[in-house]
Chains A and B, each alone.
Chain A
Amino acid sequence: MKSLLEVEALGRTFGSGKRTLQAVKGVTFSLAPGEIVAVVGESGSGKSTLARLILRLLSPTQGQMRLEGRDVFRIPLRAYWRMVQAVFQDPYSSFNQFYSVRRLLQKSLGLLGPLSSQEREARIRTALQSVGLEPEGILGKYPHQLSGGQRQRVMIARAIMLRPRLLITDEPTSALDASLRATVLNLLKDLRQEQGTSIIFITHDIGQAYYLSDRILVMHQGEVVEEGPVERVVEQSQHPYTKRLLSDVPRFHG
């Protein structure tokens, strides 16, 4: 299958001289259309930096990326962000506290260029409904009037509304109650099912990665130390770091 995203020897170094930190080192992987890849690692492993590099919120110091065979850095940013979107970790700081949900979504729609107001309204409504939120109740609300779960669903709706080819989710469930995590994970599953969106799912929780993804990349100190289909990585992990991550997962049976 032709790949959607190819990442080749991607790296990012911070600082200069003696005080350099290589947050991401030579990361290479590819992602097929409709595939969900989990990037697993503990904090400081470079997974969030990798997300920011792929999102082009940060420029890499080494390496290349291709989206549908095109050099990513030749694609204008706005056009790139029509195809690649993100949901971030913290549904509280992802919101500008001064603006309503309607305004947030309207602003994001600006990325798609001029649309008729009916088209805008329809897109916003469909997106909110697809994450299980009632548009009437939610559009006029401000962030402080929403619960954590509602906020994260609004953020997912924002991304879905733009119909990206690739969605990068950086720890989307870590700020949520356990009961809401499954909801968010299922939303991501449905998104792949219905729109064929590829997802890069960044998490520190190998259990969630197992539940959601097709393939796992294990990151440790900026490098991908293990890669493979979920079952293989979980059941026959080779790298000691992966084994350690797996041993941290609480077991309820077996």
Chain B
Amino acid sequence: MNPLLAQLLSKGRFRLSVGILLLVVAFAVLGPMLDTRNPLFAVGGRYDPPSANAILGTDVIGNDVFLQLMHGLGTSLKIGLIAGLVATAIGVLIGTLAGFLGGVVDEILMGLTNVVITIPTIVILILLSVALESRTLVSLALIIGVTSWPWTARAIRAQTASLRVREHVDVARLSGAGTFSIILWEILPYMFSYIFMAFVLQLASAILSEAALSLLGLGPDNTISLGKMLQFAIQGEAIRTGAYWAFLPPTLLLTVISFALLLLQSSLDEVFNPRLRRA
């Protein structure tokens, strides 16, 4: 077996985080297959406590919280996945070009990066929610992705700048390879683990961004997500009325997902970054 993989599998933190994530994904994917009821359809009254009818009770309009949790988790994961991929892709593109080309290109791209860092996602979202007819899952994910790439771009730029002075890059240039070919074949393979770790962090932060934006009423329309569950709970005064089952499950689920993703990232970091390796 690959020695890095063996090393990863021997780490308790890695196994724990992957185990949690598999359970979470299975809940989101298999749950709706086994229980095909519509989560946006009322099954009881306002804040019915957990019972045999609805094992996690009902929310403010009588929807089944457990059913909403399964579907909401799916939406949150999809948004996280799309936003994470978009942010990582833009970050890698900008970071490698800036780091590899240097000079004026570097200054322009890093200037752009710093400008984007200073624009809060919420401002863009409020502006877009005014402009757009409806916010879909995809448009929300794209907005999160397009505003959260700068940290990845900075990190990738630093990595690229240190990789481009290696001799194998000179050998590739002397063999006639162009800029894009060198970035693709000589630089990116060396950063693969690093990019994957950046993606894991982007995924975690995108899921939390969705929750934050939905909480403010800027979530996706006509669907349920973990953030929207929290929004309904707060608007429906679940906290004041003591309907803990309406807000605790999505909160705990969000906490568990972020915890597992950060744990995964740190265990990957320890294996791929030899300086962090413990004796």
Using a CB–CB distance below 8 Å, which chain A residues touch chain B?
Answer: 52, 55, 57, 77-78, 81, 85-86, 88-90, 93-99, 104, 107-108, 110-111, 155, 158
Please tell me if the beta carbons of B168 and A111 are within 8 angstroms of each other in the complex: no
Please tell me if the beta carbons of A96 and B170 are within 8 angstroms of each other in the complex: no
Provide a sorted-by-A list of 15 A–B residue pairs whose CB atoms are within 8 angstroms.
A55-B174, A57-B170, A77-B176, A78-B176, A86-B170, A93-B166, A94-B168, A95-B171, A96-B172, A98-B190, A99-B185, A107-B177, A108-B174, A110-B176, A158-B171
Q: How far is the CB of B87 from chain A (nearest CB, A)?
A: 25
Choose among B167, B174, B176, B190 the residue with the greatest number of A CB atoms under 10 Å from its CB: B174
Supposing A86-B170, A88-B171 touch, asked if A96 and B176 sit within 8 A by C-beta, the answer is no
* 0/1 interface trace, chain B 169-201, chain A, CB 8 Å (1 if under): 011111111000000011001100000000000
Q: How far is the CB of A75 from chain B (nearest CB, A)?
A: 13
- Interface of B, secondary structure class, is helix
Q: How far is the CB of A128 from chain B (nearest CB, A)?
A: 16
With a cutoff of 8 Å between Cβ atoms, the chain B residues found around residue A55 in the complex are 170, 174
Nearest CB in chain A to that of B165: its residue: A93
Q: How far is the CB of B9 from chain A (nearest CB, A)?
A: 22
With a cutoff of 8 Å between Cβ atoms, the chain B residues found around residue A93 in the complex are 166-168
Using a CB–CB distance below 8 Å, which chain B residues touch chain A?
Answer: 166-168, 170-177, 185-186, 189-190
With a cutoff of 8 Å between Cβ atoms, the chain A residues found around residue B173 in the complex are 57
In the docked arrangement, what's the CA distance between A94 and B176, Å?
15
Please tell me if the beta carbons of A111 and B176 are within 8 angstroms of each other in the complex: yes
Please tell me if the beta carbons of A86 and B176 are within 8 angstroms of each other in the complex: no
Please tell me if the beta carbons of A89 and B167 are within 8 angstroms of each other in the complex: yes
With a cutoff of 8 Å between Cβ atoms, the chain B residues found around residue A86 in the complex are 170-171, 174
In the docked arrangement, what's the CA distance between A95 and B189, Å?
13
Please tell me if the beta carbons of A96 and B174 are within 8 angstroms of each other in the complex: no
With a cutoff of 8 Å between Cβ atoms, the chain B residues found around residue A78 in the complex are 176
Nearest CB in chain B to that of A92: its residue: B167
Q: 4 additional contacts, CB 8 Å, given A88-B170, A94-B171, A98-B190?
A: A86-B170, A88-B171, A90-B167, A110-B176
In the docked arrangement, what's the CA distance between A57 and B164, Å?
12
Supposing A88-B167, A90-B167, A93-B166 touch, asked if A98 and B174 sit within 8 A by C-beta, the answer is no
Nearest CB in chain A to that of B175: its residue: A108
In the docked arrangement, what's the CA distance between A89 and B166, Å?
11
Q: How far is the CB of B156 from chain A (nearest CB, A)?
A: 18
In the docked arrangement, what's the CA distance between A78 and B177, Å?
9
Please tell me if the beta carbons of B189 and A111 are within 8 angstroms of each other in the complex: no
In the docked arrangement, what's the CA distance between A132 and B125, Å?
65
**Candidates A96, A104, A108; contact of B189 at CB < 8 Å:** A96
Nearest CB in chain B to that of A159: its residue: B174
Q: How far is the CB of A55 from chain B (nearest CB, A)?
A: 7
Please tell me if the beta carbons of B174 and A81 are within 8 angstroms of each other in the complex: yes
**Candidates B168, B176, B186, B190; contact of A81 at CB < 8 Å:** B176
